[in-house]
A and B are shown apart, each in its own frame.
Chain A
Amino acid sequence: MNNKLIDLKNITKAYGNNVVLDDLNLYIRENEFLTLLGPSGCGKTTTLRIMGGFEIPDKGQVIFDGKDITKLPPNKRQLNTVFQKYALFTHMTIAENIAFGLKIKKKSKAYIDDKIKYALKLVNLDGFENRYPDSLSGGQQQRIAIARAIVNEPKVLLLDEPLGALDLKLRQDMQYELIRLKNELGITFVYVTHDQEEALTMSDTIVVMNQGYIQQIGSPEKIYNEPENAFVADFIGESNIIPATMIEDRLVNILGVKFPCVDEGFGNNKPVDVVIRPEDIDLLEPGQGRIDGVVTNLIFKGVHYEMEVMANGYEWLVHSTDMFPVGKNVSISVDPFDIQIMNKPESEDEQAVTIDE
């Protein structure tokens, strides 16, 4: 797991005056499921296209398995891409689609036939050899696109929002399918998405990007529970981001009330932002928690209730399986380890700092 398979060094890419990636550094380890996550226009797809060879960076290097491949054309690279809208060859049958890369490599007919059978079995589409892509559903087409890529035995599979065009149920099924595939094949996956849930479900490592900068790199748990800045906290899941003051180590003043927490090293009386996830807030009878407030809004979401609680001038977002009706007086309580402290961004640029893991 520790071998750097792809190493992006100081990558800068601009289209005209629009700088898409600014001095990006990132490495991908062998056998890792790494997800590039961010809103549209954050540079995630460009990063993937640079790895695939469809874009050449203005500055910087792409190192693959120890070799500089920055300017190598896509057809000479040992990685394969699964495109957003499948990009199947509509004039070929499914078998011909899958065989495309192998035929170019001049593999024997027996080898190709074996591979087609193996790949179709792997993506649960046995017997589809002679059909045409147009006669398949979106999910089936995407699985063929994956099969077409993996028969070439790439060291890395690049996936560009492959589930973006599918409906919710199918997307969830395909997520499990992808995890299974990755485990069976034992190859490295680099996955691009703007869907935070997808990223949290599948990844070993998530790279959160915004405006061409990496915001945070870490495991799904780390990204969710310990976001390093307000952008990450806001982008991954719902959260309460509240301006606060760090009184001393392990004690923070939120809206005039002292809360014990577990973070250290921010200094004394320093302004900070705190992140509290809505599901980490406990609602108690008035007087039993730290801040008293009143429920102002209630929505039933299925798994839980979503409530807004007005307390000390801030509207707290709360998720709970217990229902508190609008107008009820409640008290807010948060466990110390559920309070995540972040430095305040000092400038616009700092919203988009590069952080090494």
Chain B
Amino acid sequence: MNKKSLAYPYIIWMIGFIVLPLIMVVYYGLTDNTGSFTLDNLTEILVDYNYKALWLALGLSLISTLICLILAYPLAMILKKISLNQHSFIILLFILPMWMNFLLRTLAWQTLLERNGVINSILSMLNLPKLNIINTPYAIILGMVYNFLPFMVLPIYNVIVKIDPNVINAGKDLGASNVQVFTKIILPLSVPGIISGITMVFIPALTTFVISDLLGGGKILLIGNVIEQEFTQAGNWHVGSGMSLVLMIFILLSMAILAKYDKKGEGTAF
């Protein structure tokens, strides 16, 4: 069989499930009910309600990405130091929750955080003040960090373990202290992993509507929720597609900025 023909199933798949839907989104986004060209669907984002949702989504996903980075980097460093047997165990601990359904994990947090949920029951048993973060942006950040943290840890870890120990030794040999070795050698060499981690956390966080739905109690609307509502409740595919296009522009923009720092594409290691 011709080697090229082996690629056909994938090409058909990509056309059917990636290219066509994309064309449809662009078509709906740039037309109105009568099918004539319009930019109104795009400018719909400037409506106060939508505009706020976009900025809130950007803000919360940026904060979550930052928290993920702060948590993940030291963890990746610790994983590197731990001996081989133990570290595969710790990595397993990290990946294990990922084998569970995303919805279930988020629902679990809902139960944990509820006003009379598990955490608050324990707190009241200990006569401690209740934790009222369910249905607030804090709960959404918590959900984002919890769900996306492994996607930050793994690319950073992958890059850090590949650093030749002799490169670190060379730094020490040339007089660098441990702090200098970190700031001048390990950190710059791990930039591709950081970039990859940021991409893999920021984009799903920016577009999520499930986390904000379940942990925000439907009161806190992110851009993902607004788009979802346009499709499912308002039934206005044109506006939904238009705002999807706007969101896509923000994603492409962030990827373009990040790509500048990852020239060799090493961060795609994951």
A: residues with CB less than 8 A from B are 52-54, 73-75, 80-81, 83-85, 87-91, 100-101, 104-105, 145, 148-149, 152
In the complex, whether B175 has a CB less than 8 A from a CB of chain A is yes
Q: How far apart sit A53 and B185, CA to CA, in the bound complex (Å)?
A: 19
Q: How far apart sit A318 and B173, CA to CA, in the bound complex (Å)?
A: 47
Contact indicator A91/B173 (Cβ below 8 Å): no
Contact indicator A73/B172 (Cβ below 8 Å): yes
Given that A89-B185, A91-B188, A91-B189 are known contacts, is A83 also in contact with B175, CB under 8 Å in the complex? no
In the complex, whether B91 has a CB less than 8 A from a CB of chain A is no
Which residues of chain A have C-beta atoms less than 8 A from B173's C-beta?
52-53, 74-75, 80-81, 149
Contact indicator B167/A100 (Cβ below 8 Å): no
Which residues of chain B have C-beta atoms less than 8 A from A145's C-beta?
170
What are 13 A-B pairs with beta-carbon distances under 8 A? Answer: A75-B173, A75-B175, A81-B173, A83-B166, A87-B164, A87-B167, A89-B189, A91-B188, A101-B174, A101-B175, A105-B175, A148-B174, A152-B174
Which B46-75 residues have C-beta < 8 A from chain A? Answer: none
In the complex, whether B177 has a CB less than 8 A from a CB of chain A is yes
Contact indicator A74/B166 (Cβ below 8 Å): no
Closest A residue, CB atoms, query B167: A87
Tell me, rounded to whole Å, the shortest Cβ–Cβ distance linking A54 to chain B: 6
Closest B residue, CB atoms, query A103: B184
In the complex, whether B217 has a CB less than 8 A from a CB of chain A is no
Contact indicator B166/A85 (Cβ below 8 Å): yes
Name, among B164, B171, B175, B177, the residue most crowded by chain A CB atoms within 10 Å (CB to CB).
Answer: B175
Q: How far apart sit A145 and B167, CA to CA, in the bound complex (Å)?
A: 11
Closest A residue, CB atoms, query B177: A75
In the complex, whether B210 has a CB less than 8 A from a CB of chain A is no
In the complex, whether B176 has a CB less than 8 A from a CB of chain A is yes
Q: Which of B164, B172, B185, B189 contacts A74 (CB 8 A)?
A: B172
Which residues of chain A have C-beta atoms less than 8 A from B177's C-beta?
75
Tell me, rounded to whole Å, the shortest Cβ–Cβ distance linking B27 to chain A: 45
Given that A83-B166, A84-B166, A85-B164 are known contacts, is A90 also in contact with B174, CB under 8 Å in the complex? no
Name, among A75, A80, A83, the residue most crowded by chain B CB atoms within 10 Å (CB to CB).
Answer: A75
Contact indicator A87/B170 (Cβ below 8 Å): yes
Q: How far apart sit A343 and B173, CA to CA, in the bound complex (Å)?
A: 43
In the complex, whether B180 has a CB less than 8 A from a CB of chain A is yes
B: residues with CB less than 8 A from A are 164, 166-167, 169-177, 180, 184-185, 188-189, 191
Q: Which of A87, A89, A104 contacts B169 (CB 8 A)?
A: A87
Q: How far apart sit A341 and B175, CA to CA, in the bound complex (Å)?
A: 49
Which residues of chain B have C-beta atoms less than 8 A from A81's C-beta?
169-170, 173
Q: How far apart sit A74 and B172, CA to CA, in the bound complex (Å)?
A: 6
Which residues of chain A have C-beta atoms less than 8 A from B176's C-beta?
75, 100, 104
Closest A residue, CB atoms, query B184: A100
Which residues of chain A have C-beta atoms less than 8 A from B167's C-beta?
87-89
Tell me, rounded to whole Å, the shortest Cβ–Cβ distance linking B196 to chain A: 16
Which residues of chain A have C-beta atoms less than 8 A from B184's C-beta?
100
Closest A residue, CB atoms, query B187: A91
Q: How far apart sit A87 and B170, CA to CA, in the bound complex (Å)?
A: 7
Q: How far apart sit A30 and B184, CA to CA, in the bound complex (Å)?
A: 33
Which residues of chain B have C-beta atoms less than 8 A from A152's C-beta?
174-175
Contact indicator B180/A104 (Cβ below 8 Å): yes
Q: How far apart sit A82 and B80, CA to CA, in the bound complex (Å)?
A: 24
Given that A91-B189, A104-B180 are known contacts, is A80 also in contact with B174, CB under 8 Å in the complex? yes
Contact indicator A83/B169 (Cβ below 8 Å): yes
Name, among B174, B185, B191, the residue most crowded by chain A CB atoms within 10 Å (CB to CB).
Answer: B174
Q: How far apart sit A342 and B103, CA to CA, in the bound complex (Å)?
A: 79
Q: How far apart sit A237 and B191, CA to CA, in the bound complex (Å)?
A: 49
Which residues of chain A have C-beta atoms less than 8 A from B189's C-beta?
89-91
Given that A89-B185, A90-B189, A91-B189 are known contacts, is A100 also in contact with B174, CB under 8 Å in the complex? yes
Q: How far apart sit A90 and B168, CA to CA, in the bound complex (Å)?
A: 12
Q: How far apart sit A74 and B175, CA to CA, in the bound complex (Å)?
A: 7
Tell me, rounded to whole Å, the shortest Cβ–Cβ distance linking A267 to chain B: 50
Q: How far apart sit A280 and B77, CA to CA, in the bound complex (Å)?
A: 59
Q: How far apart sit A84 and B174, CA to CA, in the bound complex (Å)?
A: 16
Q: Report the 6 A-B pairs with minimum CB-CB distance, sorted nearest first.
A: A101-B174, A87-B166, A87-B170, A74-B172, A83-B166, A104-B175
Q: How far apart sit A80 and B167, CA to CA, in the bound complex (Å)?
A: 13
Name, among B170, B171, B191, the residue most crowded by chain A CB atoms within 10 Å (CB to CB).
Answer: B170
Which residues of chain B have C-beta atoms less than 8 A from A54's C-beta?
169, 172
Q: How far apart sit A100 and B177, CA to CA, in the bound complex (Å)?
A: 12
Which residues of chain A have C-beta atoms less than 8 A from B169's C-beta?
52, 54, 74, 81, 83, 87
Which residues of chain B have C-beta atoms less than 8 A from A149's C-beta?
173-174
Which residues of chain A have C-beta atoms less than 8 A from B171's C-beta?
89, 100
Which residues of chain A have C-beta atoms less than 8 A from B164's C-beta?
85, 87
Q: How far apart sit A89 and B163, CA to CA, in the bound complex (Å)?
A: 10
Q: How far apart sit A62 and B29, CA to CA, in the bound complex (Å)?
A: 74
Q: How far apart sit A87 and B173, CA to CA, in the bound complex (Å)?
A: 11
Q: How far apart sit A229 and B185, CA to CA, in the bound complex (Å)?
A: 46
Tell me, rounded to whole Å, the shortest Cβ–Cβ distance linking B178 to chain A: 9
Closest B residue, CB atoms, query A160: B166
Q: How far apart sit A90 and B172, CA to CA, in the bound complex (Å)?
A: 16
Name, among A80, A84, A88, A104, the residue most crowded by chain B CB atoms within 10 Å (CB to CB).
Answer: A104
Q: How far apart sit A85 and B169, CA to CA, in the bound complex (Å)?
A: 12
Closest B residue, CB atoms, query A100: B174
